[in-house]
């Protein structure tokens, strides 16, 4: 193939039955070998105590779509949408994921108050409040989110210190994605994983 092939492996819950666990164990190594990267989601790590797989099915699927949707939608820009200050290059993504092996994905989000453009008059009376968005506050928000994503709930629980590679993807309104915050988040991730 000239295009990378990524796989998504869903590990069965321990209560789903031995045949599912055996099938997953038998096919795991083959799956890893046949794809450029296997992203894994562990059902047991995501279910609430006492919840059946069926009971948590909708929430688990939403989490899979959210995390992998952002990962594979990185760098895509819709018509009329502003471009963020730091855009993920698709080559970064494929370089990180195409090294083979197994990946886990972290995720964190934070509500931001989107400002309306306010029209021409408000732009003419601009009193410089936008500079506050590029302040230490915005930088700290970004680095905090990076930490939450890396140290929080991963699709496949693991210690990040053992990672061979890491990829940082940030999504949001461009005015909240300042270069300093992204670089600090990236540096922290590099230090924690010893990669990038």
What would the pLDDT profile of 24-57 be if each residue is shown by its tens digit? 999 999 999 999 999 999 988 887 777 776 777 8
Please answer whether residues 136 and 99 qualify as being in contact, where contact means their C-beta atoms are separated by less than 8 angstroms: no
* Inside any domain, residue 38: yes
* Inside any domain, residue 1: no
In this structure, what CATH number is given to the domain that contains residue 105? 3.40.50.1440
In this prediction the pTM is 0.74
Cα pseudo-dihedral 105, 111, 117, 121, rounded to 10: -150
**Dist CA 76 CA 190 (whole Å):** 25
Domain assignment of residue 21, given as a range? 6-193
pLDDT at res. 148: 94
* Inside any domain, residue 51: yes
Q: How many distinct structural domains can be found in the chain?
A: 1
* Inside any domain, residue 86: yes
| pLDDT tens-digit series, residues 56-112 | 788 889 999 999 888 887 766 666 655 554 445 445 666 677 778 899 999 998 887
State the angle between helix axes of 136-151 and 179-193 in degrees (0 to 180), rounded to the nearest 10. 30
pLDDT at res. 123: 44
User: 114: exposed, middle or buried (C-beta count within 10 Å: 0-12, 13-18, 19+)?
Assistant: exposed
**Dist CA 157 CA 144 (whole Å):** 20
């Amino acid at each position: 193939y000239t295009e990378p092939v990524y796989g998504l492996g869903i590990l069965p819950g321990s209560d789903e039955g031995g045949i599912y666990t055996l099938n997953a164990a038998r096919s795991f190594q083959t799956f890893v070998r046949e794809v450029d990267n296997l992203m894994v989601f562990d059902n047991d790590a995501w279910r609430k105590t006492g919840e059946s797989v069926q009971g948590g099915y909708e929430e688990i699927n939403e989490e899979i779509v959210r995390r992998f949707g952002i990962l594979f939608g990185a760098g895509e820009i819709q018509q009329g949408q502003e471009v963020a200050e730091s855009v993920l290059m698709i080559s970064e993504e494929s370089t990180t994921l195409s090294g083979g092996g197994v990946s886990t994905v972290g995720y964190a989000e934070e509500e931001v108050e989107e400002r309306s453009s306010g029209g021409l008059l408000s732009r003419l009376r601009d009193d410089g409040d936008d500079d506050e968005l590029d302040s230490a506050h915005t930088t700290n928000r970004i680095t905090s989110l990076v930490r939450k994503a890396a140290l929080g709930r991963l699709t496949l629980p693991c210690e990040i210190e053992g990672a061979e590679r890491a990829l940082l993807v940030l999504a949001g309104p461009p005015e909240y994605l300042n270069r300093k915050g992204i670089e600090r988040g990236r540096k922290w991730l590099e230090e924690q994983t010893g990669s990038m």
